Amino acid sequence: MAAWASNLRPNVTMSCIVLGAVGVSLGFSVRVLMSQNSTKETVIIPSPRATQLPKLSKEETSALPYPPDALPGARDVETPYGTIKVFEWGPEDGEKVLLLHGISTPCLSLGILGEALVERGYRVMVFDFFGRGYSDAPTDIPYDIRLYSTQMLLALASSKLPWTGDNGFHIIGYSLGGGLAVSFAKYYSHMIRSLVLVASGGLIRSEHVSRRSRILYSKGVLPEPLLRWLVRRRITPQPATTTSEAKMASEVVATTTTATTTSEQSTKKHHKNSDASGGDSFDNAVLSPHRPNSTVSSVMAWQVQHQQGFLTAFMSSIRHAPIYEQREDWMKLGQLLAARRKASSASGADEDEESVGGRSLPGLLGGKVLLVLGSTDPVIVKEELIHDAISVLGEDGFEAVVLDCGHEIVMTRGEEVAGLAAGFWSRI
């Protein structure tokens, strides 16, 4: 559980404020509460693959904002935790790259980045996290690094090609996916050729969690059925509106809190009318290079309406996934990177392939990671992340590049991110 969630204690005044703000009356229907709690009886919630697609014609399926064949190399992987939607394409002899998406949008959000990497000769794999897109949602386990690591390994094992083993693949993690990549590296560093962290979660400061989110996504303050009803009400599209990723981002961090330093004041002022407010550059960002109608808003609206496991996955991920204050895992990554740099330095002038560039230790080649950030990103504030990365990874543990964009970086700047990653890989 996130530090801010585990430290929260029931507070009568705070609870009353939240209840009043959302207009919950004392006569809240028991029937509604029971209906929102019904998912507890289900171990696995099926995805739209089983609940929606069988009802649609071929033409209707193709017209969806996120059709099941939106990306090349689609396959459905059956696992004990439910079916996973995986896409894998690109030259079979190319270096392998695993892409990890964010907390809300499914893996289609990485389509432009994936296509750009394939064009550069890489083999790419993406998959929908449990409860997102076309992956089922287990309900009897927290959505923490244990579940996500297991899903990553299950997806990798489903390939006809060998992905695991020493230096098996690169990881590009976006937002939540970046935090997951760092925590995954703590246990499987030998398999990861390199890490590229794009607008990465993991070190988000808990001070950015709003009071409302502390209530909605913590246990023990309000009854769980009520919390589920409130969150569902907040994220469900209303008539003549859409649900945007920007709205989801506001559930992760508070983007309108009062700043305390000159730097922060400047950042908040700059972000006042940015993507955090649902700007066109975010909500209208296109997720697929071949489907201009597949925008962030349209895909999110489809997912919220038809992915019945999304609420479970979203709430549990905020509570348990490595999003906030994960300094311990990042410090461990810093130690692993330092060990690679030390091994490389110890090799001196020895040009043997097994000792150059940190290769005497498998994984994390070059002993550093690449951070790619958006200059106007209200979710991952570049100044804070770079400052905190120095403290946990060390100045020699990473390179940082800032692009002129917001949190939609992998959609609107996917080709540029691919170029930055390829250039980084050529140097390590």
What DSSP string runs through 359-418?
TTSSSSGGG-EEEEEETT-SSS-HHHHHHHHHHHH-GGGEEEEEESS-TTHHHHTHHHHH
Measured in residues, the chain has a length of 428
Are 99 and 287 contacting, i.e. CB atoms less than 8 angstroms apart? no
CA 218, CA 209: separation in Å to the nearest integer?
11
Distances (CA, A) of 201 to 53, 64, 207, 278: 33, 29, 14, 20
Q: What is the pLDDT of residue 375?
A: 94
pLDDT value of residue 48: 98
d(CA 68, CA 83): 13
- Model pLDDT, residue 3: 58
SS3 assignment, position 124: strand
The architecture CATH gives domain 3-427: 3-Layer(aba) Sandwich (3.40)
Quote the tokens at residue 216.
Answer: 């909605």
Which pLDDT value is given to residue 235?
75
pLDDT in tens, the chain (428 residues): 665 555 444 444 444 444 444 444 334 444 444 444 444 466 999 999 999 999 999 999 999 999 999 999 999 999 999 999 999 999 999 999 999 999 999 999 999 999 999 999 999 999 999 999 999 999 999 999 999 999 999 999 999 999 999 999 999 999 999 999 999 999 999 999 999 999 999 999 988 888 888 888 888 778 988 998 888 888 776 655 556 666 666 678 875 433 334 444 444 444 333 323 334 467 778 888 788 888 888 998 899 999 999 999 999 999 999 999 999 999 999 999 999 999 877 765 454 444 444 447 899 999 999 999 999 998 899 999 999 999 999 999 999 999 999 999 999 999 999 999 999 999 99
- Rounded CA-CA distance 381/390 in Å is 14
Distance CA 163, CA 97 (A): 9
What is the rounded CA–CA span in Å between residue 120 and residue 113? Answer: 11
Looking from the CA of 184 toward its CB, the CA atoms found within 13 Å total 28
Q: CB of 101 within 8 A of CB of 132?
A: yes
Give the list of residues 6+ apart from residue 212 with CB closer than 8 angstroms, or none: 18, 21
Q: Torsion angle, CA of 97/367/145/379, rounded to 10 degrees? A: -80
Which of 84, 142, 167 has its CA nearest to residue 362? 167
d(CA 274, CA 278): 7
The single residue listed with the structure tokens 């389509």 is 111
Bridge partners of residue 138, in order along the sequence: 44
